[in-house]
């Protein structure tokens, strides 16, 4: 029986640590990042990096921020916990470690899942089992991995939610994906509303593929109603204004703004009484 090699704590040159092209990196708020940088300058890197060694390769699993700070501060070496393994293990460990760290980009997680499935032959069940992530979450990430870069950018910037990106990703045509993205943002579709639109879109695509000589059906329209941000009632789209405000709330808001402007503006000086004849009537 071969005894597994134990992790080793050792010093590594910063230049010999390789960062995979596809990985998940936890993101920090600017204030926390500034505090992190100051602590590195004051005390150095206290927590060792986690590195996985595969032959001559030393792959970074965890500690990208620390590695970057060491390079910026011209530190030639860093302490690291080194364990043996393969590149696929790097992706698996990176996936769940950074998820536990806190805020991560869903687009990066989707790319790691895509890498595991397409290049390393793993299925969703095995990824879920080895990472501890839920299977349905892995499934959503696998679908999101095939959407266009524009959708990934909107997902990372939180203009759309994970559910939106998943529903759009169910359609594989990039042009159709972009049209669905535009509809989602333009009409502020809920995930449920978008699912209905995608279901109808997939029906049309299936019919077109099965009967290529038939004239195509019209593209599905977005829902006829949308929720008002003020009263939270479902209103017809043609009765909404601006950022999905129904005409009743819009008129109330408009009057409130008009009154606020009137209060803020200086009142005009009193004008002298009009001379006879300037009133447009007859003298009395």
Q: What is the pLDDT of residue 279?
A: 38
How would DSSP label each residue in 176-227? HHHHHHHHHHHTT--HHHHHHHHHHHHHHHHHHHH-TTSPPPPPPPPPSEEE
- Residue count of the chain, please give it: 284
CB atoms within 10 A of CB 282: 7
Tell me the CATH architecture of domain 1-103.
Answer: Alpha-Beta Complex (3.90)
What is the Cα–Cα distance from 49 to 59, expressed in whole angstroms? 11
What is the Cα–Cα distance from 20 to 116, expressed in whole angstroms? 13
The answer for residues whose C-beta is within 8 angstroms of residue 133's C-beta and 6 or more apart is 95, 96, 99, 127
Domain limits, the chain: 1-103, 224-263
Q: What is the pLDDT of residue 1?
A: 45
Alpha helices in the chain (DSSP H): 30-43, 64-72, 87-101, 106-119, 124-131, 135-144, 149-156, 162-169, 174-186, 191-210, 247-264
User: What separation in angstroms does the CA of 240 have from each of 101, 181, 230?
Assistant: 41, 20, 11
Q: What is the pLDDT of residue 27?
A: 76
Verdict on whether the full-model pTM lies above 0.75: no
The answer for residues whose C-beta is within 8 angstroms of residue 146's C-beta and 6 or more apart is 114, 169, 172
Q: What is the pLDDT of residue 191?
A: 94
What is the Cα–Cα distance from 97 to 63, expressed in whole angstroms? 10
Placement of tokens 């390789």 in the chain:
18
CB atoms within 10 A of CB 76: 10
What is the Cα–Cα distance from 235 to 67, expressed in whole angstroms? 53
Q: What is the pLDDT of residue 20?
A: 94
**Is 53:83 a contact under the CB 8 Å cutoff?**
yes
Q: Mean pLDDT per segment of 10 residues, for the chain of length 284 residues?
A: 72 96 84 85 90 96 93 94 94 82 83 95 95 92 95 93 96 94 90 94 90 67 64 68 63 76 61 45 39
What is the Cα–Cα distance from 68 to 33, expressed in whole angstroms? 12
């Amino acid at each position: 029986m071969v005894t597994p090699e134990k992790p080793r704590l050792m010093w590594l040159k910063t230049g010999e640590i390789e960062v995979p092209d596809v990985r998940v990196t936890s993101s920090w708020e600017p204030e926390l990042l500034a505090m992190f940088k100051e602590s590195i300058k004051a005390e150095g890197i206290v927590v060792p990096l986690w590195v996985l060694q595969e032959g001559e390769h030393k792959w970074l699993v965890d500690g990208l921020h620390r590695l970057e700070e060491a390079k910026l501060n011209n530190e030639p070496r860093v302490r690291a916990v080194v364990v043996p393994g393969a590149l696929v293990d790097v992706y698996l460990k990176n996936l769940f470690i950074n998820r536990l760290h806190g805020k991560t980009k869903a687009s990066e997680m989707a790319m790691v899942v895509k890498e595991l499935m397409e290049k390393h032959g793993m299925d969703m069940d095995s990824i879920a089992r080895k990472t501890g992530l839920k299977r349905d979450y892995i499934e959503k990430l696998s679908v999101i991995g095939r959407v266009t870069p524009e959708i990934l950018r909107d997902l990372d910037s939180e203009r759309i939610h994970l559910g939106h990106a998943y529903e759009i990703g169910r359609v594989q045509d990039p042009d159709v994906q972009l049209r669905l993205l535009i509809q989602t943002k333009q009409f502020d579709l809920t995930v449920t509303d978008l699912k209905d639109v995608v279901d109808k879109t997939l029906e049309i695509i299936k019919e077109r593929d099965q009967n290529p000589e038939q004239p195509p059906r019209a593209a599905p329209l977005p829902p006829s109603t949308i929720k008002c941000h003020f009263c939270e009632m479902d209103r017809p789209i043609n009765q909404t204004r601006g950022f999905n405000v129904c005409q009743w709330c819009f008129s109330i808001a408009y009057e409130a703004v008009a009154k606020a402007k009137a209060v803020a503006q200086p009142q005009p000086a009193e004008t002298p009484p009009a001379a006879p004849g300037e009133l447009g009537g007859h003298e009395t």
